[in-house]
Every structure is written in C-alpha cells, then in structure tokens.
C-alpha cells in the first residue's frame, strides 16, 4: 500500500530471507499490484486476496531496514538524510546501503515513504556543488532506468568518517572497485534451473534442423573460429568446416553467416553475420561468394537472396576505409542488397539521453509531441521495426532467404533477426519461447551486454554503452500493443526483464559472449532470471493470450501507431499511473466464470440427486456442464 500511495513503486524486488519461494512471489506481486491499483465491483472474489500481500509490505516497511536477500548485508546506514523527490518534495529519513541495494525510508509521512533500488541501476554518482549554506552536501544519482535521484545530508563533522555515498559508490560500481557483482553471491534457490531454458540443439530440432540442406557444425566448439559466436552453429550442408574457416577470415570478427531461423514450409531462412571485409580495394572472397550461394540454394523456392545491411548506406560505405564494407552485387550474382538506414549505437545513446530530458521528472505541458519528436527515439524504433518487417515480409511473402548484418552483427543485427523471428514464429511469443529467443539471438550470439550496460563499472561515459537491448524490448512492446492477444507475456514481463538487466541480481545478462559465460561458470555461480520468472508465471502472463501460433504478425510501422512506452519511460511519475483495465476486467470475468461454473455444477448435482430418475427436461442440464467450449 505504501508503495502505491506515494506513487513510488521501486524496482521490483525479491524481499525474502528464506528460501521459501512463495514469499518471493507474494512481495513481488505486491509491487506489481501497486502498479495497477484499482477498485472493482465487490463481487470479485479475488480482490481481497490480491490486496493482502500489500499489507504485508506495509508491515514490513515499518522497519527502517529493508528485508535482505540471501547473502545481502548492510554496509552503511545514515539517519537524517534528505531525499529530494521531484514529485513530493524534500523527505527526511534513513538511508541504508547494502551490497545490493539502496534503501531510503521516510517515517514522518503517513503512509511511510520507501525508495528501494538495486545499486546496479546507478550509472553515476556525483556530488553536487560544495557545502550549501545550510551545511549540507548534495548527491545526485543518475540511473540507467530513466530517473535521477537526489539526496542531501549534513556535512560530516568528523571529517575522517566516510560519507554514506562513498560507501554507495563502492558497492554501486563493484567491478571498478575489485568487488564481486552481487549476482555471484545471491544464492536463492528456485524450483527450476533457468540456465536450462535454452538448449541450442533442442531449439534447432524444433525448427527441423538438421535437415537435407542444413547441418549443425562443431567447428566452433571451443570458440576458435569465432569467439563471440555460440558453439552450435547451423550452416549449409555442402560447405565443409575447412571452408567455413576461410569464410570467417573474410567476415569481421569471424562472424560468418549462420542460420537463425528457417521457415517450416518454404524453407526460406534468416541468416546473420557481420560485414564482409571488402575494404577500399573491393576485395572479394570466392569462399564467401560460394557460401552465400549455398545459402540461397538451400531454399528451392527462390532464386534470389536478399542481403539486409542494417546501416545507412553512407555508413556502410565509410566502413570500407577500415577494411569493412558491404557485398557488391557484382560479386554476389543473385543477391540484392538493401540498406535499412538504422543508426549506430552512439546515435541511439544520444537519443535516449534526450528522451530522458523530455520525460523526467516532469513532462512539459506545452509541445509534448514536438519535444518527443525532437528526441527521434520513436523514429529509431520505427526504422528498426520497418527493417524487421521487411525481413519478415521477404521470408514469409517472398519465400526468399535473407542474410542480415550490420558492422559486427551483434547490435542492429540482433535487433532485426529477433524481431523478424518474433513476427514469423508464434513460438517466440510465448513466455518460454521469448526466453529462448533472447538466449539465442542476443546472449549466445554475443550481444555485448557487459559493455553496452556497463554492469558495476563506474565509467559512465564509456562510448560502448548504448540502449540497444532497451530499443529491442521497446519494439517488442510496440508489437504487443498492436496485437494485444498474440503474446503470452504481459507488459510487466518486459519491464521485469529490463529492470533485472540492470539490477545485477541474476547472471543472465552478465558478460559479453557465450565463451565468457562458460569461462566465468555463470550457470554454476549465478541464478538465471528465467528461474525467478518461471517460478511465478502467472504474474507475467497475458490473460488475453490466444495461441495462434501459425500466424505471422505484420505490425504497422507508421508513427500513427507508435507510442512512447509510458509504462516504462514515465513510470516514475505518479500522475501517469499505468492502467490495465482490460486485463483486470478479464481476470474478474474469469473469476466470475469459475464461480458460476461451480454453482452450476452444484445445482446439477442437486438436480440429479433429487430426481435420480429422469424428468421430461433432463438432457440439457447434465450435458451442459461445460458450455464454455461452445464459444472457444
């Protein structure tokens, strides 16, 4: 209750001391319920139970300290710290820093105010100005999840004592301070081992691979051909491993074209790779040309191959100066090259910075839409979606195989292939399927999460940081908005993934590649986010989901249908409380249906008991126990 009355629902947390996973689920549920408060008709049976966990949090929050996770320990605590809330104003309370989180609590207010965030979301801590006239020092926390926090406290009289913010800096940036990331300490046990969610061979088998045209090669078993690729790679049957190595020499970072997805009927494929090392002199590689021809030949339906280069053509051309470039249509005879005009990670980072300025902490009343447009954020989203749509269209409608690449093939390429696969294959729209999609296209194919997010690293100006994955999730959200019944997961699922990408609680998004993850023994030493999510699927399930698995989704990529994701970017603003009335109403109806069904069954039992011998109107009551099916 506390959380939602103050309008500050902190990042979702797993408050629990015990191994008992139900308590995990309950406190999490409360945080979720806090986001979608509602008052409904009294005949909803589930209402009271829905709200009870919140009372639990209320009780918990009467303590000054947070409930700690396993292996979490309080590092410092300071009283009389002021949190300058952009919505409520200055709040005085107690600040606690643990090796995992920052916890601020203001007892003066009724209900109490709580701020609870994992240190992993902190991007930078800066001391603002010197000591003020009131003898206070002020600190600003810039967070990765589109908010800034500001604290102030009295100047320490004892100059030897460290400020709590120095302790905070230490634990917010463990990597820079030679400390372990909390994910390596957190030892929560979940019923399921999330690291087993993705099994590359099983996923390829689901797609029907190996088959007469494609095989799984072991050439990269020890990550020797390409250290940023997974060990299992799918390549055309008639290209032997030796040739693969020669192709790797012609592709940036050795990222050869490999299969991501195959159409179950037409056999058209989505393959991904990095740019060819063409250079200024227009170097060619017979092996690479033969290889792409083999990809095309593997699909009997089409005598063409589309190469989608995610970059703007100018940038692709500029890459020739550095030895890279793009496939010339002269060298690749049956290929058609298309540039998708998606900009690089630096442009995206800048765009998000501007977006944050526009939405946090408050939205300027006038010219909201013009301001939004000036960030170009949705324009980038549109271009990415448009690119993925063209890929999906070529594969589905054109029955043509496609090759997708950008420069290195781990940012824009991952966005494009995974979005296209989401459009093409209903399996990826289920909760588990989506986990597989992320594990496959993003994690195993080496999207550099560690560099792009900068887990535990204080170097916030690092040019390698970029919201590439956030953009992808935003694109997914846009598609779920257009097809509200086509996805098994809900918005909360997407938000949770993003929150825990930053939180450093789970090992899932650690490291840059499969090779590093194996080396760091992540599956052994950390918990997977999927273990947590799959332990309480109901929280993340879209009740409106209709499983039309053979259905290709073609989202509309017009600005008219794109919207800023308020539930993520503006969720800290208490005025923009997200609403899910449809889901709520639907759940109510489900409850109502269950209740009525029970009553009908009871009545029927009564009827059969009373008149064991049949009456003139018999037939109907006994047979209509499950009228439900008639509509479905």
Partner 1 sequence: MLSSLGSVGGKSAKPSFVSYVTPEEIKSEKEPSRKEKHPDLLPGEVVFCSASTVLKYTQDDLSQRGVFGALLCTNFRVSFVSDEAPTEEMVRTLFKNKLYGENDIPLSCVDNIYGDKRKLITGGLVKNKYPSKIIIHCKDLRVFQFSLSFSKEEDAKKIFQGIVHHCLEPKSLRCLFAFSYCENTSYPGSYSYCREHLRKKQTVMFDSVEDWTQDMKRTKGNCRVVSENSNFELSPKLPQYFIVPTNVSDEDLTKYQGKGLPMWCWSHHSGCALFKTASIPLVQEDNVCCRMLTAVAHNHLYSVKTEDLSDTLPTVQDILLSYNKFKQFFLIDNTTEFWMSDMKWFSSLDNCGWLDIIRQCLQKAVEVVESLEKENTNVLIMEEGGSDLCCVVSSLVQLMLDPYYRTLLGFQSLVQKEWVAGGHAFLDRSNHLHLKDKVESQSPVFLLFLECVWQLQQQHGPAFQFSETYLTVLSDSVHVPVFTTFLFNNDSHRDSLLRAESPHTQRSPLNCPTVWDWSVQFDCKAQDLFTNPLYTEKPKQDTSVRKSYRPRHLRQLSLPSSAFKTPPKKGFFKDEADNLKKILGVKRLSRWMLSPSSDSPQTSSSVREFYEAWQTKPLDYHGLLLPCLDGPSIRVWMQRYLRWIHDVQILGGGPVAMLSKVSEILGEVQELQRQLDRHGCTLTSNHKGARPRAKTAAAVIAARSSVRLSSSFPFVTSRNWSFKPAIPTSLLQSLMVTGIPGNLADREDDGGPESLV
* Residues with catalytic function: 406
Residue 189 lies near partner 1 (rule: CB under 8 A): no
Measured distance CA(64)–CA(93) in Å, rounded: 9
Angle at 398 between CA 396 and CA 402, to 5 degrees: 80
CB closer to partner 1, 166 vs 336: 336
Residue 576 lies near partner 1 (rule: CB under 8 A): yes
* Bridge-based pairing state of the strands 269-273 and 214-217: unpaired
Q: Which of 129, 282, 581, 619 binds partner 1 (CB under 8 A)?
A: 581
Q: Which of 116, 203, 539, 588 binds partner 1 (CB under 8 A)?
A: 588
407 annotated among ligand-binding-site residues: yes
Site stretch for partner 1 (CB under 8 A), options 18-26, 293-301, 491-499, 592-600? 592-600
Measured distance CA(537)–CA(545) in Å, rounded: 14
Site stretch for partner 1 (CB under 8 A), options 62-70, 117-125, 164-172, 575-583? 575-583
We find the least distance from the C-beta atom of residue 563 to partner 1, in angstroms, to be: 8
Site stretch for partner 1 (CB under 8 A), options 78-86, 139-147, 210-218, 561-569? 561-569
Residues that contact partner 1, how many (by CB under 8 A): 114
Q: Report the site for partner 1 in 39-58 (rule: CB under 8 A).
A: 39-43
From the number of C-beta atoms within 10 Å of its C-beta (0-12, 13-18, 19+), residue 310 rates as buried
Residue that is written with structure tokens 């192709």 in the block: 247
356 annotated among ligand-binding-site residues: no
Residues 535-554: x where in contact with partner 1 by CB under 8 A, - otherwise, as a string = ---------x-x-x--x-xx
Q: Write out 162-211 in H/E/C secondary structure.
A: CCHHHHHHHHHCCCCCCCCCHHHCCCCCCCCCHHHCCCHHHHHHHCCCCC
Q: Which of 178, 575, 609, 612 binds partner 1 (CB under 8 A)?
A: 575
Radius of gyration of the chain (CA): 27
We find the least distance from the C-beta atom of residue 215 to partner 1, in angstroms, to be: 31
Contact between 401 and 395 (Cβ < 8 Å): yes
CB closer to partner 1, 216 vs 338: 338
328 dihedral zone (left: phi>0; alpha: psi -120 to 50; beta): beta
We find the least distance from the C-beta atom of residue 602 to partner 1, in angstroms, to be: 9
Q: Report the site for partner 1 in 439-498 (rule: CB under 8 A).
A: 463-464, 482-486
Kindly give, in sequence order, each residue whose CB lies less than 8 Å from that of residue 468, ignoring residues fewer than 6 positions away.
345, 348, 411, 412, 414, 415, 447, 452
We find the least distance from the C-beta atom of residue 397 to partner 1, in angstroms, to be: 6
What is the longest distance spanned by two Cα atoms in the chain?
94
Q: Report the site for partner 1 in 494-523 (rule: CB under 8 A).
A: none
342 dihedral zone (left: phi>0; alpha: psi -120 to 50; beta): beta
Q: Which of 64, 72, 142 is nearest to 103 (CA)?
A: 64
Q: Report the site for partner 1 in 111-150 (rule: CB under 8 A).
A: none
Site stretch for partner 1 (CB under 8 A), options 156-164, 438-446, 529-537, 573-581? 573-581
Q: Report the site for partner 1 in 596-625 (rule: CB under 8 A).
A: 596-597, 599-600, 603-604, 606-607, 610, 615, 617, 621, 624
We find the least distance from the C-beta atom of residue 359 to partner 1, in angstroms, to be: 8
Q: Which of 262, 372, 414, 476 binds partner 1 (CB under 8 A)?
A: 372
Residue 86 lies near partner 1 (rule: CB under 8 A): no
CB closer to partner 1, 150 vs 585: 585
Enter the tokens of residue 63.
Answer: 């303590």
Residue 564 lies near partner 1 (rule: CB under 8 A): yes
Q: Which of 120, 129, 215 is nearest to 502 (CA)?
A: 120
Residue that is written with structure tokens 């990415």 in the block: 384
Query: For residues 162-172, b (16+ Cβ closer than 10 Å) or e, as one string?
Result: ebbbebbbbbb
Contact between 198 and 435 (Cβ < 8 Å): yes
Q: What strand order describes the sheet that includes 305-309?
A: 258-262, 269-273, 401-405, 305-309, 335-339
Contact between 39 and 4 (Cβ < 8 Å): no
474 annotated among ligand-binding-site residues: no
Terminal-residue alpha carbon distance, the chain: 37
344 annotated among ligand-binding-site residues: yes
Q: Report the site for partner 1 in 276-315 (rule: CB under 8 A).
A: 312-315
Residues 391-430: x where in contact with partner 1 by CB under 8 A, - otherwise, as a string = -xx---x--------xxx--x-------------------
Q: Report the site for partner 1 in 6-25 (rule: CB under 8 A).
A: 7
Residue 63 lies near partner 1 (rule: CB under 8 A): no
Q: Which of 179, 344, 360, 361 binds partner 1 (CB under 8 A)?
A: 344
Q: Which of 142, 294, 363, 518 binds partner 1 (CB under 8 A)?
A: 363
Q: Which of 270, 256, 274 is nearest to 310 (CA)?
A: 274
Q: Report the site for partner 1 in 318-337 (rule: CB under 8 A).
A: 318-319, 321-322, 329, 336-337
406 annotated among ligand-binding-site residues: yes
Residue 525 lies near partner 1 (rule: CB under 8 A): no
409 annotated among ligand-binding-site residues: yes
418 annotated among ligand-binding-site residues: no
48 annotated among ligand-binding-site residues: no
Task: Extract the annotated binding site.
Answer: 319-322, 344-345, 406-412
């Amino acid at each position: 209750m506390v959380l939602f009355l103050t309008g500050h629902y902190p990042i979702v947390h797993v408050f629990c001391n015990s191994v008992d996973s139900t308590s995990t689920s309950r406190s999490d549920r409360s945080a979720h319920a806090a986001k979608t408060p509602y008052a409904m008709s009294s005949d909803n049976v589930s209402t009271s139970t829905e709200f009870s966990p919140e009372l639990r949090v209320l009780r918990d929050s009467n303590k000054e300290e947070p409930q700690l996770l396993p292996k979490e320990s309080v590092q410092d605590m300071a009283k009389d710290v002021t949190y300058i809330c952009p919505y409520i104003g200055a709040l005085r309370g107690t600040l606690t820093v643990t090796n995992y989180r920052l916890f601020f609590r203001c007892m003066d207010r009724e209900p109490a105010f709580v701020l609870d965030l994992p240190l992993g979301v902190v991007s930078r801590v800066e001391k603002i100005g010197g000591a003020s006239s009131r003898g206070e020092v002020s600190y600003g926390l810039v967070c990765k999840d589109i908010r800034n926090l500001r604290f102030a406290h009295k100047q320490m009289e004892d100059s030897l004592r460290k400020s709590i913010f120095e302790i905070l800096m230490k634990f917010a940036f463990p990597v820079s301070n030679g400390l372990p990331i909390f994910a390596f300490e957190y030892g929560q046990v979940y019923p399921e081992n999330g690291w087993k969610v993705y099994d590359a061979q099983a996923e390829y088998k689901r797609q029907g691979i190996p088959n007469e045209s494609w095989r799984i090669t072991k050439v990269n078993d020890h990550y020797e051909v390409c250290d940023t690729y997974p060990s299992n790679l799918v390549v055309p049957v008639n290209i032997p491993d030796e040739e693969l190595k020669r192709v790797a020499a012609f592709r940036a970072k050795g990222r050869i074209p490999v299969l991501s997805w195959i159409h179950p009927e037409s056999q058209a494929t989505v393959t991904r790779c990095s740019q060819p090392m063409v250079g200024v002199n227009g170097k060619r590689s017979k092996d690479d040309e033969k290889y792409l021809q083999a990809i095309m030949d593997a699909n009997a339906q089409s005598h063409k191959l589309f190469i989608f280069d995610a970059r703007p053509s100018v940038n692709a051309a500029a890459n020739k100066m550095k030895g890279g470039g793009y496939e010339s249509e002269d060298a690749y005879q049956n290929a058609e090259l298309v540039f998708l005009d998606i900009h690089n990670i630096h442009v995206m980072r800048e765009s998000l910075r501007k977006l944050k300025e526009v939405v946090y902490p408050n939205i300027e009343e006038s010219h909201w839409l013009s301001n939004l447009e000036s960030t170009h954020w949705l324009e980038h989203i549109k271009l990415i979606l448009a690119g993925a749509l063209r890929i999906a269209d070529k594969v589905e409608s054109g029955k043509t195989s496609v090759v997708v690449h950008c420069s290195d093939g781990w940012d824009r390429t991952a966005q494009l292939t995974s979005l296209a696969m989401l459009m093409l294959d209903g399996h990826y729209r289920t909760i588990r399927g989506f986990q597989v999609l992320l594990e496959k296209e993003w994690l195993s194919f080496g999207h550099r999460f560690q560099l792009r997010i900068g887990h535990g690293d204080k170097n916030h100006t690092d040019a390698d940081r970029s919201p590439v994955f956030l953009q992808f999730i935003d694109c997914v959200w846009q598609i779920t908005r257009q097809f509200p019944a086509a996805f098994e997961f809900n918005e909360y699922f997407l938000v949770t993934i993003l929150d825990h990408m930053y939180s450093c609680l789970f090992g899932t998004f650690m490291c840059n590649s499969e090779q590093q993850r194996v080396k760091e023994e992540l599956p052994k030493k950390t918990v997977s986010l999927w273990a947590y999510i799959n332990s309480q699927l109901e929280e993340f399930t879209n009740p409106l989901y209709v499983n039309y698995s053979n259905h290709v989704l073609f989202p509309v990529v017009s600005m008219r249908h794109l919207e800023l994701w308020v539930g993520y970017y503006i969720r800290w603003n208490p005025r923009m409380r997200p609403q899910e009335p449809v889901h709520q109403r639907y759940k109510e109806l489900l409850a109502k249906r269950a209740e009525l069904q029970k009553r009908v069954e009871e009545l029927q039992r009564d009827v059969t008991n009373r008149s064991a011998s049949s009456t003139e109107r018999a037939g109907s009551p006994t047979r209509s126990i499950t009228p439900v099916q008639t509509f479905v």
